[in-house]
Chains A and B, each alone.
Chain A
Amino acid sequence: MLEATELMVFYENMLALNNVSIKCDDGQIIGIFGSNSAGKSTLMYVLSGIILDIQRKEVMRGGERISVFGRIALDGQEITKFKPHLRAKAGIILCPERRRIFPESSVLENLKIGAYLSSKKDAKQNLEYVFHLFPRLTDCIKRQGGFLSGGEQQMLAIGRALMARPKVLLLDEPLLGLSPAYQKLVVDGVREIRDAKGISIIVTEQYARPVIPIIDYGYILENGSNMLAGSREELMDNPDVKSAYFGV
């Protein structure tokens, strides 16, 4: 179970996350919805620890001052100070916005690099599972990551994250720029991962409609604050949410 309490993030004096608390129980799919600059990616960076790396690089460059407050715990163990690679080791794997595939490596190599934390046996099993989950990837196994289409890249990014045997999988805008057909493939894949492997998943989106059917619980972020939280039905029945995030 991943639990983040009272997260606050400042970029210089700008408040990017304001007192956000979220909770993800084992085997749940959590949705986080919000428009651009609502703080979705920042939240993902905080949960995955990438914010600590950004912070360190900014300090070295004498750039922006980033301050992070709050507590994050995974299965009761406090991981707030863990560096990104240690969080990954603890089981929090981020599949980042815009996918960030390794462009010069082939599909297979991308997956193999993803298997850095797994044993040889796990890697082999997971590799088979990824190809079972996204059969399209088998067609372009030797192709360079940079030459894949956006949808294929997204499947590869999720597959690569799975190779790292996550306990909690963070998906940052996995549907960004995908056609409805690919969106469906990805959403079905996400549900299948949870059902088959019991992996908890936190997924962010700007537009809630494609994702809402698969989530157990959802949060709405606005200007860095958690405006609303509720189960799938509660969110779907709320008139404000409907107009802002469902386009009804």
Chain B
Amino acid sequence: MEGRVPACGWGSAAGGGDASPIRSNRRAGVIVEFLLYGIINSITLSLLSLGFTLVYSISRLPNFAHGALYITSGYIVWLLLNRLGLPYPIAVVIGILATGFIGALIYRFILIRIRGMEISEIIATYAIGLAIIEGLRWGGLRGMTFTLPPFFPGSVILAGVSVDYQRLSIVAIGALTFLGLYLFTHFNKLGLALRGIAQDERAAMMLGIDSDMTAVVSLAIGSGLAAFAAILLLPLGNIVVEAGYSVLIYAIAVCIIGGLGSWGGAIVGAFIIGFAQILTEAFLSSHFQMVVALLAIIVTLLLKPSGLFGKQKELEERV
């Protein structure tokens, strides 16, 4: 087996990474490579879907504009860097905040009017996503010229496998993000309120928690997380609008496998798809990446429609 580097270029449609090919024909190297890139790919997927899961679990809103927000934030940062010449860290912070703000606006002005009608929510968010993505394309976001520089340039050889620092940083930052979200939702008053609303909206209202406020906050955080993922992942490829669609499909696939609304499930789902993709890369071709995600959706819906960790039925109320 030729040691082909699995592509993690979430920015580009073809998924071509920029890492140099590895020439390693040792078996151990192949296994390390499989594990390493499997983990990187899985964390990447869970970062991509984190915002989507968060919004759904808290507000029961399927945010189909997730992919569009992802690509928007990349474009905003690119504009700030190249048109305004801002320093990278400042551009990143502004990009995340701006995308979070867009998410909050989407709820405040559109979703608030149709909350509770699932089909309308899907249609509206998808329409917003389409408008953003196609608007960006129309506005000139075409071709392969839009790239963000990696903020950790260079690469390192780990057990005979070459990995660039950007990919390694994804693992570390991804893990820190999960930890941060865990701490936020378990020890912060607002985070606890979000979890209260997620579990029983009306019971939370009775305790003084405003469900419109939590929905705005969840969309802002969810969109901010999409932006965060974009800024981490886009330097591995190009900023192309098509990524908006594929990111959305990956996010949905991960959430359906893990069980909609379950955070732990989303991470498990990301690992299943992540490793499955690396395997198909190794044995078939990188073009099958999307097929893996779509097949996973179909198989999950056929065998266990509620997903691996869908709402626990045994916790139903006791009388």
Contact = CB atoms under 8 A, between A and B. Distances in A.
B35 interface: no
Interface of A: 48, 50, 53, 57, 60-61, 83-85, 88-89, 93-96, 98-105, 109, 112-117, 144, 146-150, 153, 160-161, 163-164, 176-177
Given A93-B207, A113-B196, 16 more contacts: A48-B206, A53-B211, A60-B115, A60-B117, A83-B210, A84-B205, A85-B208, A85-B210, A88-B208, A100-B203, A101-B203, A114-B207, A116-B193, A116-B196, A146-B314, A148-B318
Interface in B268-319: 312, 314-319
Contact of A84 (B115, B192, B206, B315): B206
A32 to B, nearest CB: 17
B141 interface: no
Interface of B: 114-117, 186, 189, 192-193, 195-196, 199-200, 202-211, 312, 314-319
B204 A113 contact: yes
9 contacts: A50-B206, A60-B115, A100-B200, A109-B186, A109-B192, A146-B316, A147-B315, A148-B318, A161-B206
Contacts of A50: 202, 205-206
A239 to B, nearest CB: 32
A117 B189 CA distance: 9
A160 B195 CA distance: 15
A187 B251 CA distance: 49
Given A144-B315, A146-B315, A96 B206 contact: yes
Prevailing SS type, chain A contact patch:
helix
Contacts of A177: 319
Contacts of B195: 102, 105, 109, 113
A68 to B, nearest CB: 16
A121 to B, nearest CB: 13
A148 B114 CA distance: 36
Given A98-B317, A177-B319, A53 B207 contact: no
Nearest to A85: B210
Contacts of A161: 206-207
B235 to A, nearest CB: 37
Contact of A89 (B204, B208, B314): B208
B53 to A, nearest CB: 15
Contacts of A150: 318-319
B261 to A, nearest CB: 11
Nearest to B187: A112
Given A61-B117, A105-B199, A88 B318 contact: no
Contact of B192 (A61, A95, A116, A146): A116
